Amino acid sequence: MSGLETTADVRARMSRQARRNTKVEMELRRAIHAAGLRYRVHRRPVKGVRREADIVFGPARVAVFVDGCFWHGCPQHATWPRNNAEFWRDKIEGNRARDRDTDARLAAAGWLAVRVWEHEPPEEAAARVCALVGARRHGSRLA
């Protein structure tokens, strides 16, 4: 088996992983909505940048990304598979590099990228997002 191959079982399990509207994302969206903020979902904040944010606050220029602990290498909960270890390390490190690049591209266009880990309590993450959106809406571009 080459470094890019994996078993049919693993392929099937990974293909069933939700990419949109995950439980964590839905809980975060409900908490933000309950706080009175309105948003768009699954949008590309900046034309020409092929990166889609999970939650977008257009006028405030805030893009929220809900990152899975496994897929994005959470410092607290990341696990490194033993099978096909090099493939998975490259995959996760590539995701991390793409996240940093996305954040930099959005910042260059005047946007704030907010990263929420899947393990964060939705109410706490929503409070953080709402505070950042509020600060950006009221003229503070330092948020």
Residue, of 143 and 106, whose pLDDT is higher: 106
Q: For the chain, give the secondary structure using H, E and C.
A: CCCCCCCHHHHHHHHCCCCCCCHHHHHHHHHHHHCCCCCEEEECCCCCCCCCEEEEECCCCEEEEEECCCCCCCCCCCCCCCCCHHHHHHHHHHHHHHHHHHHHHHHHCCCEEEEEECCCCHHHHHHHHHHHHHHHHCCCCCC
Q: Which CATH class is domain 20-137?
A: alpha beta
Question: What does the pLDDT read at residue 21?
Answer: 82
pTM: 0.84
- The answer on pLDDT for 15 being more than 70 is no
* All structural domains of the chain with their residue ranges: 20-137
